[in-house]
A and B are shown apart, each in its own frame.
Chain A
Amino acid sequence: MSEALLSVRDLVVEFDGPRGPVRVVDGVSFDVGAGEVLGIVGESGSGKSVSLLAVMGLLPAGARIAGGEIRFDGQRIDNAPEATLRALRGGAVSMIFQDPMTSLNPVLRIGTQIGEAIRLHAPRTPKPEVRERVEALLASVGVPDPASRARQFPHEFSGGMRQRAMIAMAIANGPRLLIADEPTTALDVTIQAQVMDVLEGVCARNHASMILVTHDLGLVAETADRIAVMYSGRVAETGPTDALFARPSHPYTRGLLDSLPTLDADHDELRSIPGQPPDMAARPPGCAFHPRCALGQGRPACSRERPDLRTVGTGHAAACHYAEEAAGDAPPREAAQ
């Protein structure tokens, strides 16, 4: 896909650890086409947020891009000077962070902060116009009474309202790529539906793209065109939404789908993948999933060779030596211990 708006290739991110660098992101590749919604799901701690922070050039101290490349609109941005990145952020690329409190300044009013985002890219906007746009933005993400709310401080907002304030800030300048890290976890489903409509609306109007990170598989199923599933710093499976749900081809993806509670079924215990996610500093050799994988039990390839993503269908790839088996009749797994 040459005309991808964002293209991430073999991205490696390392953190300084007590015993040398730790590869938290270990060779991640994905593309986002113009107007496309890419959903990223996966293990908690698998490097979803860190990968996206790397794209934004916002890695915390002690972390660095140690390999691969990131292109936005054809331009390398992984080694771009800070000034270039700053110009991109909040303009063409903007991010809704997983953690509202670190991106909202606790001592500034919500309205002031959104106003600053507007002025960052249009410094000469007259004050009344800024105020009007702030209120319109807050209203568009479903914050009632925006005039009053704009004057409040972050701690006076509920969790979900803070999330919506951040979304308002992120869409202030009509970005071409919107990176949304868990944008709706604190919202009830009726407001989630509305916020997703706003985000999709912004994307449709500007023919913009979105990366949606979430643990809500139902939400990605509804929203994303394509999905990437991450496990332990790597992409375990990627494919068009329909194909991925119809024919999950990596045992981890299957395990996730099996763990979903539903509104219908009654179980005493929810199914879950046995065992714990690996420590990034001591990843198992071969396939990082092998200590937990029923399909791989006892198979030498699984504990020796690290599987790379390989094609299992149109635009559908899985990093598993036995992907075809995983997609077909995987042997029944033990329930969680």
Chain B
Amino acid sequence: MRAPALEVAGLSKEFHVRKPSGWGRRALRAVDDVSFAIPPGRTLGLVGESGCGKSTLGRMIVGLIPPTGGKIRLGGETVRANRSAAERRGIQMVFQDPYASLDPRMTIHDVVAEPLRINGLYSAGKVDRLLTQVGLSPEAGQRRPAQFSGGQRQRVAIARALALDPQVLILDEAVSALDVSIQAQIVNLLRRLQRDLGLSYLFISHDLSVVRHISHEVAVMYLGRIVESGPREAVLGAPGHPYTQALLSAVPSVHRRDRSRRIVLEGDLPNPLDRPSACVFRGRCFKAAPRCANETPALAALDGHHRAACHFAEPTPRERLATLAPADRPQEKTASKEDHT
């Protein structure tokens, strides 16, 4: 069996942040003991609440910030803190914020050319091809990032990340700034590149429909931990963890504009500065029981590869999620809209 293109084992990250008083610092555990493997040519979709550590995880994997603990392996080889040029080339990231990640003084052509030039691989034709691949005209290369819309910049960032023919690409909300038609084009492009070149993707997104479309496996994070993972049909079709269940019930849809199906999470919002003991989801869980405060649920198998970290995990088909928990109070607006759907 071929080694996974990317594997992380027990990866953790702590930040030290200021106390409210302004004196002293305390630890913020952004990523907590995360493990997964992505085989060559496959995609792992990573979803989770905002602030649960997805970008931090990605930044550790590309080597932008050092992990507090754990290991990263590329093609079976453990990477050291000091990465070789080949290791750096082999894994690229498209950042969440296309505004901050492009140098405003460079032309688009130079932005895409930069990694090629550094590695002595530059040719103008190659840059033009990369731009065309992501749906920008080569002439657009003469403009500067400020002259582009959010979605256009996002495509420049993707072209740049593809420049060095990486084996692994980390895509952090890479298509969320795009209209759905261009998003479809980029997603199709990513899948084609994967088929042709055997690329592996870690695809971070809040859009569960896109994640379902592009991923082979899906992992769900909450407060720094993976709380559910497995084949996409299992995780997104019949989720077992209450957080995943709430997430899927809340996806707005053009076809089903009925908010009453939403599982509403009560309780305090997740706070990495003050994580609940035992189960991290306890404060907002509609199924919480005394056991959840005392015993940390392990990421345990539900069915084959499908795993969830919950004492009472119960895979439930998506259509039946609304029956699990108290629903949202019906809203005036919804009522008037329902009769048209």
Contacts and interface: CB of A to CB of B under 8 A. Distances in A.
Interface of A: 15, 18, 41-46, 49, 60, 98-102, 142-145, 147-148, 150-152, 156-161, 164, 182, 185-193, 215-219, 221-222, 241-242, 245-246, 255-257, 259-263, 267, 269-273, 276-277, 279, 336
A260 B273 contact: no
B137 A276 contact: yes
Interface of B: 15, 17-20, 22, 47-51, 55, 96-97, 99-100, 135, 137, 139-140, 142, 146-152, 173, 176-185, 187-188, 191, 206-210, 212-213, 236, 246-248, 250-255, 257, 259, 262, 264-265, 268-271, 273-274, 318, 334, 337, 340-341
A306 to B, nearest CB: 22
A276 B135 contact: yes
Contacts of A192: 206, 250
B97 A263 contact: no
A246 B252 contact: no
Given A144-B268, A186-B176, A259-B181, A269 B18 contact: no
A158 B179 contact: no
A182 B251 contact: no
A99 B99 contact: yes
A260 B255 CA distance: 11
A190 B247 contact: yes
Contacts of A191: 49-50, 269
Contact of A246 (B148, B210, B340): B340
Contacts of A182: 150, 177
Contacts of B255: 262
Contacts of B269: 142-144, 191
A30 to B, nearest CB: 18
The CB with the most chain A CB atoms within 10 A, among B179, B206, B334, is that of B179
A193 B250 contact: yes
Given A261-B209, A270-B183, 9 more contacts: A15-B147, A44-B182, A45-B152, A186-B50, A186-B96, A256-B180, A260-B180, A270-B188, A277-B182
Nearest to B209: A261
From B99, B209, B246, B254, name the one whose CB has the most chain A CB atoms within 10 angstroms: B254
Contacts of A276: 135, 137
B265 A45 contact: no
Contact of A272 (B15, B47, B188, B248): B188
The 9 A-B pairs with the shortest beta carbon distances in the complex, nearest first, are A44-B151, A160-B50, A218-B252, A144-B271, A272-B184, A270-B184, A45-B149, A158-B51, A242-B340
B15 A156 contact: yes
A44 B20 CA distance: 41
A190 B150 contact: no
A152 to B, nearest CB: 6
A161 B254 contact: no
A217 B150 contact: no
B151 A190 contact: no
A178 B204 CA distance: 29
A259 B184 contact: yes
Contacts of B274: 144-145
A272 B122 CA distance: 32
A161 B150 contact: no
Nearest to A102: B99
Nearest to A195: B50
